[in-house]
Structure 1
């Protein structure tokens, strides 16, 4: 199993695009620019629609040597031979995901507090996303922004990779890395940008 070694983690949201084909084109541009980890997170799709999208994304991420994570759905992740699954607070426990997958998937967990991050590590998660670090409108998150100091404190106590998420933009991405995060997870920071290639390349430069 490959070890996570990426600095920028893109999370999909097709609502930024007028058509799914436009999202596919955008993702290819982003991968060409250097992103090496993508999480498929489209909760309102039917099972067939999600599987079809996952199949396409597996083909594309394989072409660029990028990791593919599926949000929540271990069955879909296994079906398309994704690299991993990402679990939220109301998802399966890490142990259940491991059992179902036979240990063949990386398992990431969303954490909205230090306690949740510590619990994810204890449960055997391979990495954790911590946030929201800043104010964000991209996705529902629990509680108020944690801030840089909280991220730094979590990073000092958690040994697995930590990715900051929530409200991260070009002007603050570097301080997230300087706080100790192994990388940043982005939705609107890239998908909401007008110049996808240039924005992606600038984020990658900032978080190296």
Structure 2
């Protein structure tokens, strides 16, 4: 999963997304909440077209899906989640995971110290991530400070169904190359972007 931040992107946002999709990214969360709804909806339509060509999916940082069918919600609400084809939520601890109702997946963060949000944390590290995954009723995507294939392998070994990345791709000179390395490390290069994440059954040894 790629989370957008056009202020950190080295190219126009659509170009970064297109390059990341070429490298294997299949889910993109559109943030950019400072834009007007009209501008954000137009951007959503542009990114949906890019993802559709690759069998991927645009998820909007909600609750407004911007004429789509997938939203990603903050930990603070709304509760219950709005009806949508795919609903995710940001979580950071066991209390927030315990509030989940009909969500399809969550991101859990921060796993590592992050340059995007300096001082945000404290970081969970893989051990803390593993503990929260064990309590989550839905598949977990690891988020926060993930920049290397080794970190992704640690997250998958901890039980993450996938990973969410922002800075490593937004700031990349070559998002296609970085995305290819990261998706390969996660074992996601052959997966479609339309389905819901599945809780992995692989052992640590399977991912080393």
TM-score, scaled relative to structure 1: 0.82
> Residues 70 and 34 (structure 1 numbering): CA distance in 2 closer, same or farther, change over 3 Å?
same
The answer to whether the aligner puts 1:173 opposite 2:147 as a matched pair is no
Q: Distance in 2 between matches of 1:35 and 1:183?
A: 11
* Other-structure match for 2:86: 106
Pairwise CA RMSD: 1.9
Q: Flag the structure with higher helix content.
A: 1
- Give per-residue Cα distances to partners, 1:53-73, cap 9 Å, x unaligned: 111111211111101100013
Q: Distance in 2 between matches of 1:194 and 1:169?
A: 14
* Other-structure match for 2:71: 85
1:14 CA displacement: 0.5
Q: Distance in 2 between matches of 1:15 and 1:156?
A: 35
Q: Distance in 1 between matches of 2:138 and 2:153?
A: 20
Structure 1 residues not aligned, in runs of 5+: 1-8, 99-103
Provide the aligned length of Structure 1 versus Structure 2: 186
1:143 CA displacement: 3.7
> Residues 172 and 152 (structure 1 numbering): CA distance in 2 closer, same or farther, change over 3 Å?
same
* Other-structure match for 1:46: 36
Q: Distance in 2 between matches of 1:68 and 1:75?
A: 10
TM-score, scaled relative to structure 2: 0.82
